Amino acid sequence: MGYAQRPERVAVIGVGILGACVGWNLSRHGAEVVFIDAGRPGEGVTDWSFSWVNASNKTARRSYFDLNVAGMAEYRQLAGTIGPGPWWHPSGHLRWADDPAAEAKLLETAELLAGWDYQVEVCAGAEVRRRLEPALTVPGKTPVLFCPDEAWVHGRRLVGRLVGQAVESGAECRAGAAVGDIGIGTDGSVRTVTLSDGSRLDVDVVVNAAGPHASQVAELVARQLPMRREPGVVTRIDCAQVPPVHRAMHAPHIEIRPDGDTSVVLHSREIDALIDTGEDPAELARLLHESARQVVPELGNSRVAQTRVAHRPIPADGFPSVGAVPSVPGYYEAVSHSGITLGPVIGRLLAAEILSGKRDGMLADFRPERFSR
Ligand SMILES: Cc1cc2nc3c(=O)[nH]c(=O)nc-3n(C[C@H](O)[C@H](O)[C@H](O)COP(=O)(O)OP(=O)(O)OC[C@H]3O[C@@H](n4cnc5c(N)ncnc54)[C@H](O)[C@@H]3O)c2cc1C
């Protein structure tokens, strides 16, 4: 059993993409919402993400792929509801490889995706340069996967937009105050949250959307939420003018996407693997920049502006943990990697569950109870 009645007041603990999406959905359906963030909304891992909205990289389990496809559709709905703007970039995604084994795997994935009715085109490198990205060095005959329905999102701006709208409709936002305690009543249900500024709020529902810190928040209700440790390093590059790339891409050894009018974001799983060797983040940024120049020589004229090592919020089995925890009425989780892709759909489904008590089948494989046994 979760929370059975319509809640009086909901505390959303953590205001990254997940907390913002849950709180915005609750608020627009008339719930009283208080957003609480230890730092500033949208400045957690959401601001240090590659931010690629996709399902093509989520083929390991069909139900997870389907959830991510629903996430992509939800973004289109959201853009229709709140209006597009500098947060939303539905420009597709490119991926190619530079060795025969990786290339064969990519083409196999393209076939699987097409069989699952996913929009995917295989283009030659020359065509990609002519039609889409003239600045790339991709060889003319190399096959490139183009997924036109994929996108990238400016997470911090989207969080700002959603929280701003919710606050205009009466939600409260407490920034710079961490939740340090969750009070439980004699009946075992959630009653209060206590913040690091000493204030205590009466609430009957809490949503744990604390991202990489979600297991600490779970401990406040004596719950174990096992999470993986998977750091990633992300670098922002300042270009003197308009970025020479127009969409997100996975090139060999490097991921590149625009990040606004004059900057570009770089990430690489290969460079992430060096984080635990103790390598200086400035050196990791230099390696990312060097890799990016091999793919887009014009990026050689740009400079590294900011670099951050961020932790992916990944429950131990790699899948989201979303929904009520039946043993603690009033306590809900919204914890997920791929949270940029999944934020809007998780936000809608979880808000509906909190308000109606009904569970959506789309979340059946991603319930928090699987960690309670
Ligand atoms: C390198 C990298 C690349 C990624 N690439 C992608 C991608 O391409 N596509 C994709 O879909 N996903 C990607 N992700 C994952 C995605 O970024 C995350 O899943 C998503 O941003 C998580 O959002 P969140 O709201 O859960 O966490 P956050 O944005 O971290 O928000 C959590 C908030 O909780 C607050 N908080 C923590 N503890 C407390 C407390 N006790 N009290 C109050 N507030 C608290 C923090 O201050 C923070 O603001 C990537 C992640 C990384 C690290």
Are 167 and 217 part of one and the same domain?
Answer: yes
Q: Are 213 and 171 contained in the same domain?
A: yes
On whether the CB atoms of residues 15 and 163 are closer than 8 A, the answer is yes
Residue 373 has pLDDT above 80, yes or no: no
Q: Domain for residue 176, yes or no?
A: yes
Are 237 and 285 contained in the same domain? yes
- Which residues have CB under 8 Å from 92's CB, separation 6+? 132, 146, 147, 148, 149, 150, 151, 247
Confirm whether 15 is domain-assigned: yes
How many structural domains are present in the chain?
3
Q: How far is the CA of 98 from the centre of ligand 1 (A)?
A: 31
Enter the tokens of residue 83: 């209006």
Tokens of 339: 């949270």
Tens-place pLDDT, residues 28-57: 999 999 999 999 999 999 999 999 999 999
Cα(214) to ligand 1 centroid in Å equals: 10
Q: Where among 311, 326, 360 does a domain terminate? A: 311
Residues 248 and 353 in one domain: no
324 plus 307 within the same structural domain: no
For residues 324 and 224, membership in a common domain is answered with yes
What is the distance between the alpha carbons of residues 33 and 109, in angstroms, rounded to a whole number? Answer: 42
- Give the pLDDT confidence score for residue 55 in this predicted structure: 98
Residue pair 13/217 in contact (Cβ under 8 Å)? The answer is yes
List CB contacts of 40: < 8 A, sequence separation 6 or more.
175, 176
CA distance 254 to 248: 11
- 298 alpha carbon – ligand 1 mean position (Å): 31
Q: How far is the CA of 47 from the centre of ligand 1 (A)?
A: 8
Whether 97 and 200 share a structural domain: no
Look at residue 62 and tell me if it is in a domain.
Answer: no
Q: How far is the CA of 320 from the centre of ligand 1 (A)?
A: 12
User: 169 with 223, same domain?
Assistant: yes
Q: Whose CA is nearest to atom 20 of ligand 1?
A: 339
Provide the CATH number for the domain around residue 221: 3.50.50.60
Q: φ and ψ at 78, to 5 degrees?
A: -60, -45
| Domain contains 109 | yes
% helix / strand / coil in the chain, to the nearest 5?
Answer: 35, 25, 40
The answer to whether residues 139 and 266 belong to one domain is no
Using only C-alpha atoms, what is the Rg of the chain? 21
Distance CA(212)–CA(264), nearest Å, equals 24
The 8-class DSSP code of residue 6 comes to: P
Nearest ligand 1 atom to the CA of 339 is 19
153-183 pLDDT, tens per residue? Answer: 999 999 999 999 999 999 999 999 999 999 9
Q: How confident is the model at residue 261 (pLDDT cuts 50, 70, 90)?
A: confident
Q: What pLDDT score does 1 carry?
A: 44
Report the predicted TM-score, pTM, of the whole model to 2 decimal places: 0.97
Nearest CA to ligand 1 atom 16: 339
| Cα(17) to centroid(ligand 1), Å | 7
* Of residues 324, 304, 309, the one with CA closest to residue 271: 309
Q: Which atom of ligand 1 is nearest to the CA of 272?
A: 1
Residue 213 covered by a domain: yes
Domain span at 347? 9-48+155-228+316-371
* Ligand 1 atom closest to Cα of residue 230: 53
Convert the pLDDT of each residue in 178-205 to its tens digit.
Answer: 999 999 999 999 999 999 999 999 999 9
Locate tokens 């996407």: which residue?
257
6 band by pLDDT with thresholds 50, 70 and 90: confident
For residue 183, the model assigns a pLDDT of: 98
197 and 222 in a single domain? The answer is: yes
Q: Could you tell me if 271 and 320 lie in one domain?
A: no
Domain boundary residue, one of 262, 292, 311: 311
Residue scoring higher pLDDT (372 or 210): 210
* 338 shares a domain with 298: no
Ligand 1 centroid, distance to 99 Cα (angstroms): 33
- What Cα–Cα distance (Å) separates residue 151 from each residue in 72, 115, 246, 250, 284? 8, 21, 11, 13, 26
Among 109, 130, 148, which residue terminates a domain?
A: 148
Whole-angstrom distance, CA of residue 118 vs CA of residue 115: 7
DSSP string, 103-148: HHHHHHHHHHHHHTT---EEEEHHHHHHHT-TT----TT-EEEEET
Residue nearest to atom 40 of ligand 1 (CA): 178
Which residue minimizes the CA distance to atom 10 of ligand 1?
A: 338
64 in a structural domain? no
Between the CA of 305 and the centroid of ligand 1 the distance, in Å, is: 21
Q: Is residue 132 part of a domain?
A: yes
For residue 283, the tally of other CB atoms under 10 A from its CB is 12
**pLDDT score recorded for residue 3:** 54
Pocket of ligand 1 (CB under 6 A): 13-19, 36-39, 44-46, 48-52, 178-179, 209-213, 217, 232, 234, 267, 310, 312-313, 336-341
Domain assignment of residue 1, yes or no: no
Confidence bin at 4 (pLDDT 50/70/90): low
Are 12 and 203 in contact by the 8 Å Cβ rule? The answer is: no
Nearest-atom index, ligand 1, CA of 19 = 25
